[in-house]
């Protein structure tokens, strides 16, 4: 039976992986922390009863922010806090991504492209949903960026959780009536145009700032 936890997977395969891949220093530190988490390598303390009938050892945690063993409780607490903030209405899950052809550009311009991606998503959603033809109100949106897919391959994209309604210009709540948020083709077309225009403007600005080959 194969490894079933992140720690077990790293212990089992990291040495073979290192033979064919270069790993940045910060990733090596993270891997080392996850492998050693709650093991004798980090030390610990012993608990026992005076009668000697029960004895157990508690090993220290690595406390790394990407460690599932350390962060599970913290993540659950965060989720409960976020759930308490949610409105009692329907929600829609919408994902925005970029074509794989732009991955190489993203790798060399992570901060810029991530910023442009968020801006394009925000503008498209607010413009379309503020239009009376669709909702005519300003929705609530929670947006989260991810740079990888489930198989841990590079795949920059944004997950959006959108309320099934919003506040109209008079401050009154207006709900989605037609059973769906927005036409998918319309959203895709607007998003593609917004992102391409933003990339062209960024490229033009960079070119304008270049003088004698220097920035």
Quickly state the pLDDT bin for 1 (edges 50, 70, 90): very low
What one-character DSSP code corresponds to residue 65?
A: T
Which domains occur in the chain, in start order? 1-85 (no CATH), 87-208 (3.30.300)
Quickly state the pLDDT bin for 152 (edges 50, 70, 90): confident
176 has a pLDDT exceeding 90: no
Q: What is the pTM of this model?
A: 0.62
The answer for residues whose C-beta is within 8 angstroms of residue 141's C-beta and 6 or more apart is 122, 125, 160, 161, 162, 163
* Average pLDDT of every residue of the chain: 85
62 has a pLDDT exceeding 50: yes
What pLDDT shows up at residue 211?
Answer: 43
What pLDDT shows up at residue 213?
Answer: 41
Quickly state the pLDDT bin for 210 (edges 50, 70, 90): very low
Cβ proximity of 186 and 94 under 8 Å: no
The helices-and-strands tally (H runs, E runs) of the chain is: 6, 6
């Amino acid at each position: 039976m194969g490894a079933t936890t992140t720690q077990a997977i790293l212990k089992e395969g990291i040495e073979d992986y290192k033979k064919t891949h270069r790993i940045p220093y910060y990733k090596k530190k993270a891997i080392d922390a996850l492998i050693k988490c709650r093991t004798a390598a980090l030390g610990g303390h012993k608990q026992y009863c005076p009668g000697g009938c029960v004895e157990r050892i508690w090993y220290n945690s690595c406390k790394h922010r990407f460690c599932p063993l350390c962060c599970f409780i913290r993540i659950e607490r965060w989720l409960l806090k976020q759930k308490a903030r949610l409105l009692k209405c329907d929600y829609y899950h919408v994902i925005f991504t970029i074509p794989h052809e732009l991955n190489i550009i993203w790798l060399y311009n992570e901060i810029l492209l991530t910023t442009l991606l968020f801006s394009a998503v925000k503008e498209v959603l607010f413009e379309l949903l503020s239009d009376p033809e669709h909702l005519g109100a300003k929705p609530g949106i929670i947006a989260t960026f991810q740079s990888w897919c489930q198989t841990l391959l590079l795949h920059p994209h944004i997950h959006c959780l959108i309320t099934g309604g919003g506040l109209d210009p008079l401050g009154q709540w207006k709900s989605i009536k037609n059973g769906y948020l927005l036409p998918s083709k319309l959203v895709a077309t607007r998003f593609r145009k917004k992102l391409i225009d933003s990339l062209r403007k960024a490229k033009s600005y960079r070119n304008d700032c270049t003088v004698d080959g220097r920035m």
